[in-house]
Amino acid sequence: MKSNFLKLVLPAFAILLAVGLAFATEESNLPYVGYIATQSGYAEIQTDCPNLSGGYCYDGLNQVFNDSGLTDPKRTWD
């Protein structure tokens, strides 16, 4: 009885676990268009915000902004 139960439940559990983990992806790692300040104004960049220092997104030493006016900083929790 015990071995029949395990033969039925163990594969079912493995399938449920695989399906559940298939949806456990991070949407925040998708690249997006951001803006950084340069000497001549702003530059448009593609980033996925790899640097998580202080809750704000940085590309190298440059802070990334959501708008070309450089007034809305990109936060890591956006």
Q: Quick check: is 22 in a domain? A: no
Answer whether residue 41 is part of any domain.
Answer: yes
Length of the chain: 78
CB 66 within 8 A of CB 73: yes
- pLDDT tens for the chain, 78 residues: list them: 567 877 888 888 888 888 887 776 655 567 888 999 999 889 999 988 765 556 888 888 888 999 989 998 888 765
Q: How far apart are the C-alpha atoms of 59 and 36, rounded to whole Å?
A: 8
Phi, psi of 69 (to 5 degrees): -80, -5
Domain residues for 52? 32-76
Q: Is 31 helix (H, G, I), strand (E, B) or coil?
A: coil
Total domains present in the chain: 1
